[in-house]
Amino acid sequence: MTTDSQITIAPVRKICCIGAGYVGGPTMAMIAKQCPDIQVKVVDINEARIAQWNSDTLPIYEPGLHDVVVESRGRNLHFTAEVDEAIAEADMIFISVNTPTKDFGVGAGRAANLEFIEKCARKIAEVSSGHKIVVEKSTLPVRTAEAVKAILSRASSGATFDVLSNPEFLAEGTAVEDLLAPDRVLIGGESEQAIQALVEIYANWVPRERLLTTNLWSSELSKLTANAFLAQRVSSINSISALCEATEADVDEVAMAIGTDSRIGPKFLKSSVGFGGSCFQKDILNLVYLCEFFGLPEVAEYWEQVVKMNDYQKQRFVHRIVRTLFNTVSDKKIAIWGFAFKKDTNDTRESAAIYICRDLLREKAKLCIYDPQVNPEQIRKDLAAVLKNGDSELSQASAQLLADNVEIVSDLKTASKDAHAIAVLTEWDEFATADFASIHDSMKKPAFIFDGRNVLKELPLAELGFEYHGIGFRR
Ligand SMILES: NC(=O)c1ccc[n+]([C@@H]2O[C@H](COP(=O)([O-])OP(=O)(O)OC[C@H]3O[C@@H](n4cnc5c(N)ncnc54)[C@H](O)[C@@H]3O)[C@@H](O)[C@H]2O)c1
Ligand SMILES: O=c1ccn([C@@H]2O[C@H](COP(=O)(O)OP(=O)(O)O[C@H]3O[C@H](CO)[C@@H](O)[C@H](O)[C@H]3O)[C@@H](O)[C@H]2O)c(=O)[nH]1
pLDDT, mean of residues 348-355: 98
The CA 170 to ligand 2 mean position distance, Å, reads 9
- pLDDT greater than 70 at residue 288: yes
The CA 280 to ligand 2 mean position distance, Å, reads 7
Closest CA to 162 of 189, 139, 141: 189
Where residue 475 falls among pLDDT bands split at 50, 70, 90? Answer: confident
Inter-residue long-range contacts of 390-396, CB under 8 Å, 24+ positions, other chains counted? none
pLDDT, mean of residues 357-381: 98
Buried b (16+ CB within 10 A) or exposed e, 279-296: bbbbbbbbbbbbbbeeee
Buried b (16+ CB within 10 A) or exposed e, 327-359: eebeebbbbbbbbbbbbbbbbbbbbbbbbbbbb
279 lines ligand 2 (CB under 6 A): yes
Which atom, in ligand 2's list, is nearest to the CA of 272? 35
pLDDT at 422 (0 to 100): 98
Closest CA to 186 of 162, 220, 153: 220
Question: Mapped to the 3 state alphabet, what secondary structure does 92-126 carry?
Answer: EEEECCCCCECCCCCCCCCCECCHHHHHHHHHHHH
pLDDT at 389 (0 to 100): 87
> Given ligand 1 and candidates 98, 135, 287, which is best to mutate, with the most ligand atoms within 8 Å of its CB?
98
Enter the pTM of the model.
0.96
175 lines ligand 2 (CB under 6 A): no
pLDDT at 131 (0 to 100): 96
Find the ligand nearest to 171 CA: 2
The CA 368 to ligand 1 mean position distance, Å, reads 31
172 lines ligand 1 (CB under 6 A): yes
pLDDT, mean of residues 132-147: 97
The CA 346 to ligand 2 mean position distance, Å, reads 14
- pLDDT tens for 272-287 read 999 999 999 999 999 9
395 lines ligand 1 (CB under 6 A): no
93 lines ligand 1 (CB under 6 A): no
Find the ligand nearest to 138 CA: 1
Question: Mapped to the 3 state alphabet, what secondary structure does 361-383 carry?
Answer: HHCCCEEEEECCCCCHHHHHHHH
> Given ligand 2 and candidates 65, 310, 341, 428, which is best to mutate, with the most ligand atoms within 8 Å of its CB?
341
Integer Cα distance of 227 and 225 in angstroms: 5
Where residue 227 falls among pLDDT bands split at 50, 70, 90? Answer: very high
pLDDT at 147 (0 to 100): 96
270 lines ligand 2 (CB under 6 A): yes
Q: How far is CA 135 from the centre of its chain?
A: 21
CA angle 425, 229, 470 (to 5 degrees): 25
Please give the DSSP secondary-structure letter assigned to residue 267. Answer: T
pLDDT at 5 (0 to 100): 53
Please give the DSSP secondary-structure letter assigned to residue 446. Answer: S
280 and 231 Cβ atoms separated by less than 8 Å: yes
407 and 367 Cβ atoms separated by less than 8 Å: yes
- pLDDT greater than 90 at residue 399: yes
The CA 320 to ligand 1 mean position distance, Å, reads 36
18 lines ligand 1 (CB under 6 A): yes
Where residue 2 falls among pLDDT bands split at 50, 70, 90? Answer: low
Helix (H, G, I), strand (E, B) or coil at 418: coil
Residues 6+ apart with CB under 8 A from 328: 322, 363
23 lines ligand 1 (CB under 6 A): yes
Which atom, in ligand 2's list, is nearest to the CA of 427? 33
pLDDT, mean of residues 37-56: 98
Where residue 66 falls among pLDDT bands split at 50, 70, 90? Answer: very high
pLDDT, mean of residues 395-408: 97
pLDDT at 54 (0 to 100): 98
Q: Which of these is catalytic: 17, 35, 244, 279? A: 279
pLDDT at 299 (0 to 100): 98
pLDDT at 4 (0 to 100): 52
279 is catalytic: yes
Integer Cα distance of 211 and 77 in angstroms: 24
Query: How high does pLDDT run on average in the chain?
Result: 96
CA angle 322, 326, 329 (to 5 degrees): 45
Residue 119 CB-density burial (10 A; 0-12 exposed, 13-18 middle, 19+ buried): middle
ipTM for this prediction? 0.99
- pLDDT tens for 434-469 read 999 999 999 999 999 999 999 999 999 999 999 999
Residues facing 213 on adjacent strands:
187
Where residue 157 falls among pLDDT bands split at 50, 70, 90? Answer: confident
Closest residue to atom 5 of ligand 2, CA basis: 275
Please give the sequence-ordered ranges of beta strands (E in DSSP) within 380-447, or none if there are none.
Answer: 406-408, 421-424
The Cα-based distances of 327 to 330, 332, 444 in angstroms read 9, 12, 17
pLDDT, mean of residues 247-269: 98
- pLDDT greater than 90 at residue 151: yes
pLDDT, mean of residues 180-203: 98
Inter-residue long-range contacts of 181-187, CB under 8 Å, 24+ positions, other chains counted? 181/206, 182/206, 182/210, 183/210, 184/210, 184/211, 184/212, 185/210, 185/211, 185/212, 186/212, 186/213, 186/214, 186/219, 186/222, 186/223, 187/211, 187/212, 187/213, 187/214, 187/219
Residue 317 CB-density burial (10 A; 0-12 exposed, 13-18 middle, 19+ buried): buried
Where residue 180 falls among pLDDT bands split at 50, 70, 90? Answer: very high
